[in-house]
Each structure stands twice: as C-alpha cells, then as structure tokens.
Amino acid sequence: MSMTTLVDLRSDTVTRPTAAMRQAMLEAPLGDDVFGDDPSVNALQSQIAEMLGFEAALFVPTGTQSNFCAILAHCQRGDEYIVGQLAHCYRWEGGGAAVFGSVQPQPLEHQPDGSLALKDIEAAIKPDDAHFARTRLLALENTIGGQLLPFSYVEEATQLAQRKGLGRHLDGARLFNAAIAQAAQRDTEARAEARRIAQCFDSVSVCFSKGLGAPVGSALCGSRELIARAHRIRKMAGGGMRQAGMLAAAASHALQHHIDRLAQDHALARRLADGLAGIPGLQVETPKTNLLFVDLRGEAQARSAELLAHLKQNGVLATGLYRLRFATHLDVDAAGIDRAIGAIRSFFHA
C-alpha cells in the first residue's frame, strides 16, 4: 500500500466492489423486481434463505429498511418490541418503527458482553392490560458493538421469548462476522454457525454492504407469511427496485467468495490492537471481530480532535471523539494497519 493510498478505518461500509464482483454485476441477468421477474434478485433471495434455513427472503436497499420491515411485519400499531439501548434498530435508525409504524420500543441496558439480561427481558414483558403497549417482539443484534453474543445466551434469550409468545428478530448486519468468530470458538464451519444462530429467530436481517463487501443491499429472511407482510411494507417504504439484479449479483458473489475472508479482518483488528498497546492515555479493548474500540484517557482525551486531524493528514481515517472506532475490512491490508499504528504512535511520540 503506497503512502498516497487512504487507509479508511471509519467503517466496513466503505468497501468498494472487487474486480470479480464488478464483473459479476456486469454479467447479471436482469428483469423487473417489482414484477418479481428479476432472475438475479430471485436467485439471491433463494440463496440466502436456504443458507440460513428459512422459507423465504426479501432483498432490500438497506439494513435499516430490512429491520424496519421486520419490526412492522411482526408488530401492529400499539405493539412494542424489546431491544437494547445501543441496538442499531433502536438508536441509529431514526426511530422509524415508532414514527411510521406506531410500534413502541422498550429499550433495555446492555450487559458488558452486549447481551440483555434475561431477567430484564422478562420484567419488560407487559401484562395484557389496556394501560400498556402489547409486547410482541424481542430484537437482538449479533454482533453488537463488535462483540459476539454467546450462543448459549442467544438460545436462552430466544427460548424465553418463545415461551412468552414473542416473535424473535435478529439484526444480523454482521451475522457472518459473528459466524466466523463462533466457528473459531467451536472449531466448526462459518456457514454452519451462521445457520445455527439464525435458526434461533423468526426473522433475520443480513447486510451485504459491510464486511461482505457488496456496494448496496440487505436481505430479510423469514417464513413465507412474514416475508409477504414485509414485502408490502417495503413497497410502502419506497423500497421497490426495478433492475436490481446488478446489486443482487454483487451480494451473491459476496456470499460465495467473501465469507471466509472475514477472518482476515478479525486478524487485522487484533494486529491494530497489539500495535496500540502500551501507549499512555489509550485504553485499547481486545477486539472480538473486526471492530476495535480505543478509549482516550486524561490528556489524550483533551487532544482527541487533534489526533483525528493528525491521522487524516497521514492518510488514515477513523471515527469517534473520546472513544475511537476502527473497522477493518477487505480494502485494508497489513501494511495499512501498520501505517495506522505508526501514525498514532507518532502523535503520542510512543
């Protein structure tokens, strides 16, 4: 990587299609997806549904729209969903389910590992009483803040929800990052772990434009009935696309070629963490997947804006203020990580 090449660690959404992915997009057979006859979209929907063990799937432009369609497919006006305070579908999606669907969120505090305490979930479920919104859904996210939810917890939480008559939705924007990490723990295969996680839920949203490296798109997986309801909601939300097969082909290519390589991103996040260890004023978390968080303490905290400017001047982009986030992805290599380490160390003269 040359010094003129930008090392963009702001997010894994900044990836650009590989040459092979661009070729797959150019060669994609096309139709009109609103009429249901785009063969590349139909193939992708069948591919991801089968991979995760669901009856059907719906290709949508964004993960935000996928979560929105899921919540409104599970819930009606006057219902509520239980969700974490830091979950994307609560905190970072403009309150869409509440604003457009009249579905009330019931946010809960996270535990240090990103989970929601089982006792908190159970206590948040409302009785059948006119004073309360009707609790209809538990929404979890995996990974959450870069952390893999323990699979034993996922099983317990979703079984609790099922016993209480709640639907279960997974925001799996980085499901395959979770699957790679879980496969490493269990010495198994990532696709099997993705399916194992997904099968604890009634619906799963998967993002193709993060670590998998496609330019656009997510899929919502579920039963035929749920996906039919989600399809109607997608229409109302303006999410019907026409010759969307070029985008679907990119996602299909990513599913075929980019899952296993996510392990490289996880290794690069660890490389970055190791390279920043011991710098005074930096509290470096141990990354579980491809996201590294670094808290600035003391004098370093007061210089956070100066640090980000210094990094940018040296061709390295990151996000945050007092808590920095670095995301590794397929457009970053070991040389780029070492360059980021060098830039941060030079700032602190470490």
What one-character-per-residue DSSP string does 231-269 give?
HHHHHHTT---SSTHHHHHHHHHHHHHSSTTHHHHHHHH
User: Rounded to 5 degrees, what are φ and ψ at 286?
Assistant: -80, 115
Q: What is the pLDDT of residue 4?
A: 56
- Quick one: tokens of 312? 């940018």
Q: What rounded mean pLDDT belongs to the chain? A: 96
φ, ψ of residue 81 in degrees (nearest 5): -125, 140
First to last CA, the chain: 23
pLDDT the model gives residue 307: 95
Contacts of 119 (CB under 8 A, 6+ apart): none
Architecture of domain 31-257: 3-Layer(aba) Sandwich (3.40)
Query: How many degrees, rounded to 5, is the angle at CA 276 between CA 273 and CA 278?
Result: 115
pTM: 0.96
pLDDT above 90: residue 1 = no
Q: What is the CATH class of 7-14+261-348?
A: alpha beta
Q: Which residues in the chain are classed under CATH 3.40.640.10? A: 31-257
- CA distances 54 to 8, 168, 224, Å, are 35, 14, 9
Distances (CA, A) of 294 to 140, 287, 327: 24, 10, 12
Residue 39: what residue type?
A: P
Question: What's the half-sphere exposure (Cβ side, CA atoms, 13 Å) at 293?
Answer: 10
| Tokens read off for 70 | 């899921």
pLDDT at 301 over 60: yes
Q: What is the pLDDT of residues 332-341, one digit of tens each?
A: 999 999 999 9
Please give the average per-residue pLDDT across 18-27, as a whole number: 98
List, by residue range, all CATH 3.90.1150.10 domains of the chain: 7-14+261-348
| Phi-psi group of 169: left, alpha or beta (phi > 0 → left; psi -120 to 50 → alpha; rest → beta) | beta
CB 198 within 8 A of CB 220: no
Residue 2 pLDDT > 60: no
